[in-house]
Structure 1
């Protein structure tokens, strides 16, 4: 599966709805993208609006991957740091691949395209992301070149009695 990636696409209603649908599918498949299933697009939409508002304000950038049919099959947001001492790195947020494509290399394609997108930004030297423990995500990101640089035990409460570590990963871009 080869995806076609676009960095900073024009966000029209079709793209907005495609991202909302992807986010809903990923969440309902157990993906660690800020929600616990079951969710609907109506539950996802306010968080998506926040991301899109941050894009309009120049604080977030979007990378989207389309499949052969033109559907939104992958997406990730880069959040720029506004603090003057941290403008040399970005956060990766809401990293998503369609459940139908998982295990077929699409996640690695997305992460490689995300690194290329970050490299295209002036002065950016690294990408940081956080991931939810208990799912093996840190192993996936490590295979993509990220290194674990921090862990807060039990910082994410998925459900009563189900706490997960919040793991911070870093990818130097040089």
Structure 2
């Protein structure tokens, strides 16, 4: 395998009309696989299935906009390996920062640098195309996500202690992270 073959192909989507039915299906299937394998990508109570994920995916895709919401995908050949969303608030007061949501790597592609590649591309888009100055995200505690993001230059700026109750005996912090400067 050459170096080029080992890296995913990255693309950004800024409008729902750019999403083919095949890509929509792959986004849904990826989100189901990530959630049902224990991933912290927006559905905290697995198992989930198509009728749980499809409407949320459609709502997310419907909000895509060149200035306010972008989807970045990672593919190996024609297979979706992962994706992430960057949202920018339209209000001028906070228009200089963006929020990262739903970073996920399909379980079959974990350990191949997909998440890091997506976050690196997202950072370039945020700075170069949207003129953002900082990015924020919230991560589920006790998943090792703080270490992953820290390796990419993010820093923890706070926590909501016990904010996430996954089960009666499983309460976690929500970890607030910042990437500044871009």
State the TM-score, normalized to the length of structure 2: 0.89
Match of 1:3 in 2: 8
Equivalence for 1:118: 126
Task: Report the equivalent of 2:55.
Answer: 46
Mapped to 1, the partners of 2:149 and 2:130 lie a distance apart of 24
Q: Which residue of 2 aligns with 1:81?
A: 89
| Conserved? CA contact 2:133–2:181, under 8 Å | yes
> Do the aligned partners of residues 156 and 81 (structure 1) sit closer, same or farther apart at CA in structure 2, a change above 3 Å counting?
same
2:66, 2:168 → 1: CA distance? 36
Q: CA RMSD in A?
A: 1.6
Bigger mean CA offset, 3-12 vs 70-79: 3-12
Whether the 8 Å CA contact 2:31–2:53 is kept in 1: the answer is: yes
4+ runs deviating over 3 angstroms: 56-59
Quote the residue 1:106 is aligned against: 114
**Where in structure 2 are there 5+ consecutive unaligned residues?**
1-5
Deviation at 1:33, TM superposition (A): 0.8
Distance in 1 (alpha carbons) for counterparts of 2:8 and 2:93: 35
Pairing 1:37–2:37 present: no
TM-score by length of 1: 0.92
**What is aligned with 1:169?**
177
Give 3-state SS (helix, strand or coil) of 1:111's partner. helix
Paired residues, what number? 173
| Structure 1 counterpart of 2:162 | 154
Q: For residues 39 and 114 of structure 1, what CA distance do their matches in structure 2 show?
A: 27
Taking the aligned partners of 2:68 and 2:113, their CA distance within structure 1 comes to 29
Instruction: Describe how 1:120-135 pairs up with structure 2 within 5 A.
Output: 120-135=128-143
Does the Cα contact within 8 Å between 1:4 and 1:66 map onto a contact in 2?
Answer: yes
Q: Give, in whole Å, the separation in 1 of the partners of 2:130 and 2:63.
A: 19
Q: Which runs of 5+ in 1 are unaligned?
A: none
Go from structure 1 to structure 2 and tell me whether the alpha carbon gap of 1:56 and 1:124 turns closer, same or farther (over 3 Å shift).
Answer: closer
**Secondary structure in structure 1 of the residue aligned to 2:122:** helix
